[in-house]
Amino acid sequence: MAKKSKDIFEQGHRSGRITWLRAAVLGANDGILSIASLVVGVAAANIDRQEVLIAGIAGMVAGAMSLAAGQYVAASSQADTEAADIEIERLQLETDHQQELVELAAIYVQRGLDAQLAQKVARQLHAHDALGAHARDELGISEVVIARPLLAAVTSAVAFALGAILPLATIALAPELHLVLVVALTSLFFLALLGGIAAYVGGASIVRGCLRLTLWGGAAMTVTAGVGRLFVL
């Protein structure tokens, strides 16, 4: 019975999805928007379909690798900072355990516990896992938000490639005469769909999620199409 209750509790919360969901949404959004904007800008310069497709494929490969590298470096920097902070906290616990206990109790008082209960909770947590308690409650580092560089890099790269495939497939199938318009409209639809799915998985407003990506996507493609038209004036 206890295990069943725990499973229900865990299934009802979405914060555990933050690490991969953020990387996946960022990657897919980047893939759709970057490649759609790129090909719309190139196609607007009256370049033929084959050259537009080549530019799109090159952009997909470069973008996926660049995003993976960027996510890995950023997440690694975060992980290094977290590890350094935890090491500092570990040393402080070794050199002045009592002062750290006082600090932890003060944190719980600030969160609404009375002083006596806060001290009792702090002592019990210190006895169980002092470093874990300080990492979580003093530094704000927990398993939910801890940096995972490899997961972030792989998730972003794969999501970028999958997102980029959508406008590339549209380029291959759309009539060449209306290539820019078809790519722009289908990409906006893909962005709206992605925003809705991401909002649903994250438990947010689906309408807001759709609008957020669609508006930014429309703005980006409008600007790049304008840049492309400059080369045929």
Tell me the pLDDT of the chain (233 aa) as tens digits. Answer: 444 444 444 454 454 455 566 677 778 888 888 888 888 888 877 778 888 888 889 999 999 999 899 889 988 888 888 888 889 888 988 888 888 888 888 988 888 888 889 889 888 988 888 888 888 888 877 765 566 788 888 888 998 999 999 999 988 888 878 888 888 899 999 989 888 888 887 777 889 888 988 898 888 888 887 887 777 65
Contact 199, 210 (CB under 8 A): yes
Q: Which of 36, 44, 23 is nearest to 218 (CA)?
A: 36
CA distances 26 to 116, 155, 198, 220, Å, are 46, 9, 10, 15
The interaxial angle of helices 149-173 and 49-95, nearest 10 deg, is 170
Instruction: Give domain status of residue 233, yes or no.
Output: no
pTM reported for the whole predicted model: 0.69
Confidence (pLDDT) at 143: 63
What residues make up the domain containing 110? 19-228
Instruction: Give domain status of residue 1, yes or no.
Output: no
Instruction: Give domain status of residue 126, yes or no.
Output: yes
Contact 136, 159 (CB under 8 A): no
Instruction: Give domain status of residue 13, yes or no.
Output: no
How many domains are there within the chain? Answer: 1
Instruction: Give domain status of residue 171, yes or no.
Output: yes
Helices (H), the chain: 2-11, 18-43, 49-95, 97-110, 115-137, 149-173, 179-202, 206-230
Amino acid at 53: L
Q: How many residues in total does the chain contain?
A: 233
CA distances 182 to 64, 82, 210, 226, Å, are 24, 46, 19, 16
Instruction: Give domain status of residue 9, yes or no.
Output: no
Contact 74, 138 (CB under 8 A): no
Give the residue carrying structure tokens 């033929």. Answer: 48
